[in-house]
Amino acid sequence: MADKLVIVESPAKANTIKRFLGGSTKVLASMGHIRDLPKSKMGIDIEHDFEPQYINIRGKGDLIKSLKQEAKKAKKVYLATDPDREGEAIAWHLAYILSEDKDKMSRVTFNEITKTAVQNAIKNPREIDTNLVDAQQARRVLDRIVGYKISPVLWKKVKRGLSAGRVQSVAVKLIVDRENEIEKFIPEEYWNIYVDLLDEESKKDFEARFYGKNGKKIEIHSKEEADKILKDIEKAKYIVEEVKKGERKRTPAPPFTTSTMQQEASRKLGFTLKKTMSIAQGLYEGVKIPEKGTVGLITYMRTDSTRISEEARKAAKEHIVGTYGEKYYENRYYKTGKDSQDAHEGIRPTYSELEPDAIKESLTKDQYKLYKLIYNRFMASQMSAAVYDTMAVTIDANEYTFKANGQRIKFEGFMKLYVEGTDQKEQEIEEGMLPDLKEKQEVKLEKIDPKQSFTEPPPRYTEASLVKALEEKGIGRPSTYSPTITTILERRYIEKEQKQLIPTELGKIVNKLLTENFGDVINVEFTAKIEDEFDEIAEGKEPWKKMIREFYGPFEKEIEKVEKELEHVELVDEVSDVPCEKCGRMMVYKYGKYGKFLACPGYPECKNTKPIIETIDVPCPKCGGKVQVRKTKRRRNYYICENNPKSCDYISWNKPKKGEKWHQDEAQENNNLKQKNKKSENNK
């Protein structure tokens, strides 16, 4: 009989923790939630003050029975679920199910799965924090009410199976709004003038860029304006007016939070949010390392704090000084944002001595990539700033002003280990140093290079930039970003093309209906305000049912008003110019599991449907026929000749280019692609 029983969520976490506790302690997994709201109905008793009607999750009967038996036998039960609101709620549900006396049951939390952290947690148990539980309940109940009340409107007016959600619908709105901005964008012309100049003394050339006239900035908007300046500087002397030399420091980024980890893994590793969180979960719960057993490699991965413990700070110092030298270390503290929940640390390695390359053989390829990213980011956050020598030069050419900048790295500091990525198309370009120019010296003109450009629309969101936008606007929390984006992709409200998130026609229709009729709920400011209220509940400043009451009254009136207004409104299907070959009616556009398709409006008398064939303006490299764009089940584009398989077997992952010739060595790969997609085509 075990003296102590520890219950965690997952078997992997249980296996890691077992190593740190005595033989008289049993560690079991609840396999996530064991109680939740029912799937078959709303499960909220509106008439009795919004009481949630929780039920045991189907399929967990045997597990619950086993947990009850073990709890009854143990002298002490420790609920060691994750250290966040969701984990607190799971512990609360476990306590209810096990229904043991309060003195026997305790809550323990740890931010990292190490021997010290786990043993300290067991020595310092506490009661379940009902404020955290209430914050989780408030989110669950509010989201259930919104989803169950709004979704039926979509079923009646668009199609069955659609869903609306407080956070997911706002995320779709951001993506649709950005697409509308792009579509309405009108490019504006502008010009840059570059000059290649030579310092005859050092024989080094450098580039300067047009700035303005007599030191005042001027923007060039047309070829006529550019031509006038070009004429004025054609025979001008280029005189160095000012030389400024200095030093610039670049400081490291803080340790990862959930959102910055997701963004950086997307930028640098190409991981989806879902993949990043899954791999991070495995690193946190434990990986088997030779001679060490199962080891939790990182701290808890759901956090919006950048704080780190003094023990971790000390370990980082020892590693940095020992590996790179004293001058590479700097003791750094990072401010946590005002809306952050500072319950635990930023994401960092649990053992500084376990360098990524030293344990590479014990990790999967993707685990290694993410662990290295987390490890290097954390170590770099405690390193010295990089130092650059800088030089800024102002040059006069017949009263016109040109500027040139140069920099050279003097001390690499943290950049020896890690440089943060950006959302821009190109990383920051490290410019070379300029020649050692002096004021009033003349430099020789070698070439004038005018360049016409046009302003560009704002970029589409990627998973990384959408997470950044949601976080900046206060929408959702670390644990919600990944499931939110996964949901709207699975619902086909958006699709992903080369990392860009693009709204589908279905997404646009759903967004239009929701924003026009539920504008007060599907609203960025409202959603951010709700998140603040959840925080108030977590801090014990507001009863959770009071918040739900205040929300539900106006919301119920809004639902009644919308249902009445839409009662006699029918969304008319968009008519195509394609006649139905079976009955002659003009086919209409419909939306299904795989996106947009053509259907006969005569259903159910005529059940004819057709896929919409998209083509490109490049002929088939093999036979010259039209090339069609198709999608796999996973929504990846591939390209196929319209004559395939009758007289041409061209099929490729890569979009053909004009003038491209067919290579026989592509045949086998394309044949594999053809076989792979046969089932997908049949299903469609």
| Sign of the C-alpha dihedral computed for residues 212, 218, 221 and 225 taken in this order | negative
**Annotated active-site residue in 238, 300, 324, 638:** 300
Helix (H, G, I), strand (E, B) or coil at 76: strand
Q: What is the 3 state secondary structure string of 403-420?
A: EEEEEEEEECHHHHCCCC
User: Which among 556, 117, 211 has a CA at the least distance from the CA of 400?
Assistant: 211
**Cα separation of 583 and 606, whole Å?**
7
**Cα separation of 392 and 407, whole Å?**
9
- Mark whether 284 is an active-site residue: no
Q: How far is CA 657 from its chain centroid?
A: 32
Residue 36 phi/psi, 5-degree rounding, is -160, 175
Contact at 8 Å (CB) between 453 and 191?
yes
Amino acid at 403: K
What 8-state DSSP symbol labels residue 333?
-
Alpha helices in 539-572 (DSSP H): 544-566
DSSP E strands in 366-505: the ranges are 386-397, 400-411, 442-454, 494-497, 500-503
| Sign of the C-alpha dihedral computed for residues 521, 525, 528 and 534 taken in this order | negative
Q: Kindly state the tokens that stand for 274.
A: 């879902």
**Cα separation of 432 and 446, whole Å?**
19
DSSP E strands in 221-315: the ranges are 238-250, 287-289, 293-295
> Residue with structure tokens 């990089």?
386
Contact at 8 Å (CB) between 110 and 118?
yes
Contact at 8 Å (CB) between 265 and 370?
yes
Q: Kindly state the tokens that stand for 374.
A: 């987390």
User: Which among 430, 426, 427, 425 has a CA at the least distance from the CA of 412?
Assistant: 430
Q: Which positions are catalytic?
A: 300
